[in-house]
Chains A and B, each alone.
Chain A
Amino acid sequence: KASRWQKNGGKVMFAFSFPLLSQVVLKIIKHYQEEGQGSEVVQGVLLGLVVEDRLEITNCFPFPQHTEDDADFDEVQYQMEMMRSLRHVNIDHLHVGWYQSTYYGSFVSRALLDSQFSYQHAIEESVVLIYDPIKTAQGSLSLKAYRLTPKLMEICKEKDFTPEGLKKASVGFENMFEEVPIVIKNSHLINVLLWELEDKSTVSDKHELLNLSSSNHLEKSLQLLMDRVDDLNQDIVKYNTYSRNLSKQQQQKHQYLQRRQQENAQRQSRGEPPLPEEDISKLFKPPQAPPRMDTLLIAGQINNYCQNVKEFTSQNLGKLFMAEALQGHN
């Protein structure tokens, strides 16, 4: 399976589009609508097939929320039973990924990384589908699929989060996740169903996409961005103190060695035996290098927020100019 990554001319970035059935889309939307409130995330499992080099997602089922009075609830058991039952009705039961809802785009977290890593370790093509309900309510379905880059997989496997480890693998926040384009595919029967629905349902009276108000959304996004930047700041301060300590220690080591040499030279000139070489590393224990994984995650998250904000503002600018054109004609 490793050969598939190298097949694309040796480039490590592997992006293919994968088809998604419409019922999966509808189920995810419904799950959030019914069970998600506020900033809680809802999660579920994606089922499908791996066809040559494409990943097809054909069904999904939701995970129940974790509640305090369900402490003995066994998630694995629920999953097993669900899959067994679905197999009876000929639904593809291969676990190909999972989905999660997000709040204003804040999904780059340690938990997500760990889950996705364990999924990708088992199945190479698995993805995590991020559904943004707030963006969708604003008018455009926001469903994105992400996968960890191979470099990041390597690092997670080794669990080597020191600065040297990251430098070796040259992983920046921009190549942590790669986005996989999604394509929605329908069978002919679903086509007929859609025709029927269009015929029978009323025209939607809310056109959220053309809504001009933006301040609420911008406020919240900027608030989250500021929090993240604060976190990053603290992290940077930690790292700076670490490197300062490290360099101070280097200096001390250097001075100690020099003094040693001087003493030895003096002793030699006096004819006395030189002092024994002591183990330097025991005297000067190097400070612990702070793990860089959190910084990477925060940077990735900030990047994500900025992207979202920019997308939102560009849309709104377009809308404002349209409004101006309309008024200008009066």
Chain B
Amino acid sequence: MSVFGPVVKIHPVVLASICDSYERRNEGASRVIGTLLGTIDKHSIEVTNCFSVPHNESEDEVAVDMEFAKNMYDLHKRVSPTEVIIGWYATGFDITEHSVLIHEYYSREASNPIHLTVDSALQSGKMNIRAYVSAQMGVPGKTVGVMFTPLTVKYIYYDTERIGVDLLQRTRLTPSRTKGLTSDLSQVGCAASRIQDMLTTVLAYIEDVLSGKATADNSVGRFLMDLVNKVPTISAEDFENMLNSNINDLLMVTYLSNLTQAQIALNEKLVLL
């Protein structure tokens, strides 16, 4: 199924905010809507921020607080002037008739707004995150309808965001859904064990290929060759030297910082005498 239109790249902070707004919705509201902010590129749209907008929805009418939306956008613009309104989001599984009206409002604000749906009620067992762009359809001259065409959705992270999200992933594992922030060597240990897991997976695959259980894939083979070639061949002596000098540096710095700490503690005691 080929998809036309720009690729939508979403940052996880947007999704987390959407989920949070859904949890805080008013009594009786079945879904929440809000504005998406971000930047537009030639081939992609990057969604970096969002805020929720209060709205009332009933069987025949829908009311959106536009004044509020404008206000919030102004406030946000002061902090990050590069973000523009690029569309809107709604929680819920399907697109309703009301969505068309809201989409029309947003097309006044942005040139080609995208519509993001997040299925937070988990109607299909998974949280479906989809993005759409509206397109005119129908017979020219007669009533024109609006069709929402889907777009591909990708998740992108900044480097630091990636690290933050990795930490958050670990909160899934504890039953109380909480996690303290670890420090020091335990983190190095965790990273090492993760690499170990990855290596075991790769080894298992190679075993399978060698024993004929799986077909060999050329691209994977090339990656493997890159991997093996990346390990530099250094003579044992050179490596020893490098290692020792690095260790010496680190030990010296540790010693110096301990010395400084003792010094200021001493200074303090003397002053307070």
A residues adjacent to B (C-beta < 8 A): 17, 19, 21-23, 25-27, 29-35, 58-59, 61-64, 73, 78, 81-82, 85, 88-91, 133, 136-137, 139-141, 143, 163, 166-167, 170, 172-174, 181-198, 200-201, 203-204, 206-210, 212, 214-215, 218, 222, 225, 229, 232, 236, 239, 292, 295, 299, 302-303, 305-306, 309-311, 313-320, 322-324, 327
**22 A-B residue pairings within 8 Å (CB atoms):** A26-B13, A27-B17, A30-B13, A32-B160, A34-B48, A64-B78, A78-B78, A81-B75, A89-B52, A172-B272, A183-B178, A184-B171, A194-B165, A196-B127, A215-B249, A232-B264, A302-B264, A306-B260, A309-B257, A314-B185, A320-B246, A320-B247
Cα A186 to Cα B65 in complex, Å, equals 30
**B163–A194 contact, CB under 8 A?**
no
Cα A58 to Cα B23 in complex, Å, equals 12
Report B-chain residues with C-beta under 8 Å of the C-beta of A30. 11, 13, 48-49, 158, 161
Residue in A81, A85, A89, A323 with the greatest tally of chain B CB atoms within 10 Å: A89
B21 at the interface (CB under 8 A from A): yes
**B260–A185 contact, CB under 8 A?**
no
B155 at the interface (CB under 8 A from A): yes
B residues adjacent to A (C-beta < 8 A): 11-13, 15-17, 19-26, 48-49, 51-54, 65, 68, 71-72, 75, 78-80, 82, 120, 122, 126-127, 129, 155, 157-169, 171-172, 177-185, 187-189, 191-192, 194-195, 198, 234, 236, 239, 243, 246-247, 249-251, 253-254, 256-258, 260-261, 264-265, 267-268, 271-272
- A198 to nearest B CB, angstroms? 6
**A190–B19 contact, CB under 8 A?**
yes
Cα A306 to Cα B250 in complex, Å, equals 13
Cα A188 to Cα B54 in complex, Å, equals 24
Tally of A-B Cβ pairs under 8 angstroms: 258
Report B-chain residues with C-beta under 8 Å of the C-beta of A21. 20
Sample of 12 further A-B pairs with CB below 8 A, known A193-B19, A218-B253: A21-B20, A26-B13, A30-B13, A35-B79, A61-B79, A64-B79, A85-B71, A186-B172, A201-B157, A209-B191, A314-B185, A318-B188
With contact pairs A30-B48, A136-B164 given, residues A17 and B180 touching in the complex (Cβ less than 8 Å) = yes
**B23–A206 contact, CB under 8 A?**
no
**B159–A90 contact, CB under 8 A?**
no
Report A-chain residues with C-beta under 8 Å of the C-beta of B264. 173, 232, 299, 302-303
- A301 to nearest B CB, angstroms? 10
Cα A32 to Cα B163 in complex, Å, equals 14
Cα A1 to Cα B183 in complex, Å, equals 33
Cα A200 to Cα B9 in complex, Å, equals 12
Report B-chain residues with C-beta under 8 Å of the C-beta of A189. 19, 22-23, 120
- B102 to nearest A CB, angstroms? 16
With contact pairs A173-B268, A210-B192, A317-B247 given, residues A29 and B161 touching in the complex (Cβ less than 8 Å) = yes
Closest to B261 in A: A306
Closest to B69 in A: A85
Report B-chain residues with C-beta under 8 Å of the C-beta of A225. 257, 260
- B93 to nearest A CB, angstroms? 14
Cα A204 to Cα B213 in complex, Å, equals 28
Report A-chain residues with C-beta under 8 Å of the C-beta of B160. 29, 32-33, 133, 136-137
Residue in A184, A187, A200, A222 with the greatest tally of chain B CB atoms within 10 Å: A184
Report A-chain residues with C-beta under 8 Å of the C-beta of B13. 23, 26-27, 29-30
Report B-chain residues with C-beta under 8 Å of the C-beta of A204. 162, 166
**B168–A184 contact, CB under 8 A?**
yes
Closest to A206 in B: B159
**A315–B20 contact, CB under 8 A?**
no
